[in-house]
Amino acid sequence: MSNTAPPTPLDLAQHEWKKIFDGGPYTGMLMLQYIIQATGKSIGDFLLDPKNSIKTITDSHISHFNFQQLAATWNVDAGRCTSFAVKAITELKSHKDATGAPIFNFEIYDLTRHRVARCRKTGVVIDSSSSIRNGAFVLAEGAWGRFPETNASWKFKSDESKFEREGKEHGQIKKSSSPISPTKAMVICLKEVEESAYKSVPTLFRSVNAQNKPEFHGIIVWCPRDHAIELGASISDLRDGRKLVIQFPKYITVKGKTGLDPKMAGTAESLEQCLEYLVEFIRQYGGPHGMNQWESTGVDEFNTALIQAAVELWGFPKPTEKALEWAPLIISLEKDAPPNPYCRLPKVLFPICLIYGSLLTVVHRKLPAPDAEQLVIIIADGLSRIGREPVPARADNISEIEKKTDEQRPYAVGGATVG
């Protein structure tokens, strides 16, 4: 007979919290896909008018769906704070005590653009933004709780939760007077995605480290309004402008005529390069589970569909950030690559590295002599090749995009087909 003590409610919650946190990125990509499919329109229709093409669909259509009809937004490995909480409490509901009674009785609270769950029986709190060790924690009824690893303060009393994000004495306190259902929580979340998707749809990679501390890594942001994809090594880097931008041509008006700016036009080769940069970025900045979080959750597939539609609508993209600033950034964080000779060279040899890097790329790709603009990009790519094997091209994605097809899969919702 085993003398091992059964896991406590907190143990169970922390196990589920870490599984979801490691399993996928924070992102609204799959929710945006769900919203577009619910409209019956194509991805191209969305990109053509990202603000109005999906406007009000949550209120007019999705808000009438039941919990299982919304499963594609919460029973997945990639999502936002709300789907994180809903998925966790749905999984934890299956646990029973020795008498066969449910261990947990979770309720969800809306804290203004952020949802969390708390169990009335055990005091366990599920919050995807938790920065404390093991993620989930216990908060007793009626007491303010402050944790050493974070500035957050909590208080639950008489069915009311109060949450102070910044921990300031007179800081903003977000209140939730009563719990809401998981279905209501998901509808609120989808409404937020609907309203903000035209500006940005972020994908933030994350993981739990060896010390069981949550960590956030690189971020990829689709910006439909700006015809761009932005990549930053961290949220702060992105906010401060330290980023790589994959830019599709934008519309300009000249002498009363509106059209795509020919100066921003890319080529099939620049598209390939953008896809290579995207993959390399995830490898370097996505954390230990980055590629798996990208490829196995469905985010990669929807991203490919977005790029395909964008190419059809706007033309080929190209990187526009100062590539010479980006390349050393990639090199400096190649943790799994062999030691890079560039990192040990004196500054006086930097021009030689540039020439060597460009020659590597020209030879590798058998390109014609580049013009000045192309050379900047080629140099960055060449520098990123020094000391390691070339990044393999994503031929599957490239061929898929260049086919220029826009086949929309039918989307099943509660037995009905939408799209």
Q: Rg of the chain's alpha carbons, rounded to an integer?
A: 24
The answer to whether 250 touches 260, Cβ cutoff 8 Å, is yes
Question: In terms of Cα–Cα distance, which of 239, 172, 155 is closest to 200?
Answer: 239
Quick one: pLDDT at residue 127?
Answer: 92
Quick one: pLDDT at residue 196?
Answer: 96
Higher pLDDT, 108 or 158: 108
311 pLDDT higher than 80:
yes
103 pLDDT higher than 60:
yes
Beta bridge partners of 329: none
- Give whichever of 61-70, 252-261, 333-342 has the largest mean pLDDT: 61-70
Of 24-38, 124-138, 301-315, 350-364, give the lowest mean pLDDT range.
350-364
Q: Regarding beta strands 124-126 and 251-254, do their DSSP bridges make them parallel or antiparallel, or are they unpaired?
A: unpaired
Q: If pLDDT is split at 50, 70 and 90, which confidence band does 347 have?
A: very low
Quick one: pLDDT at residue 306?
Answer: 98
Q: If pLDDT is split at 50, 70 and 90, which confidence band does 352 have?
A: low
Higher pLDDT, 348 or 28: 28
The answer to whether 205 touches 25, Cβ cutoff 8 Å, is yes
Of 237-241, 267-271, 316-320, give the lowest mean pLDDT range.
237-241
Beta strands (DSSP E) in 214-361 are 214-223, 228-232, 244-247, 251-254, 257-260, 318-319
68 pLDDT higher than 50:
yes
The answer to whether 46 touches 34, Cβ cutoff 8 Å, is no
Phi and psi (nearest 5°) for 352?
-65, -40
| Type of residue at 203 | T
408 pLDDT higher than 90:
no
Helix (H) or strand (E) holding 184: helix 182-196
Question: In terms of Cα–Cα distance, which of 296, 304, 301 is closest to 77?
Answer: 296
Higher pLDDT, 82 or 114: 82
Quick one: pLDDT at residue 382?
Answer: 45
pTM above 0.85, yes or no: no
Beta bridge partners of 32: none
Quick one: pLDDT at residue 152?
Answer: 65
